[in-house]
Amino acid sequence: MAITSAIVLFAVIWFLALLIVLPLRLQTQGDLGKVEYGTHAGSPENPQMKKRFLVTTVAAVIVWVFVVGSILSGFFSIRDFDWFNRMATPEVTTKNQ
């Protein structure tokens, strides 16, 4: 795995983790009954973005280490996900004659 692939994989995992972490323990202004003028009732009252980014980063690093370790160890490869046999080469395919 090249360094660029590892960075892109981490970015994808980080953003997926962020989308999971954002709604956790979210209290909206409408839930608390303190809707400020000019804002939506679904706006968070106290978003705590630093804390959410930290939790996201820790979770993403754990998942990323597991995924990269699995790829580098050879536990699975891209050919394991070739369900439609599009990566077939003459050496790999077997012809019934």
* Residue 46 CB partners (closer than 8 Å, separation 6+): 27
Q: Taking a C-beta distance cutoff of 8 angstroms, is the pair 23, 82 a contact? A: no
Residues 12-56 have pLDDT tens digits of 999 999 999 999 988 888 888 888 888 888 888 888 899 999 999
**Residue 62 Cα to chain centre, angstroms:** 11
Q: Is there a contact between 60 and 10 (Cβ–Cβ < 8 Å)? A: yes
Coil vs helix vs strand at 91: coil
User: Tell me: the pLDDT tens digits for 48-86?
Assistant: 899 999 999 999 999 999 999 998 998 877 788 888 888
pTM: 0.74
Contact 56, 17 (CB under 8 A): yes
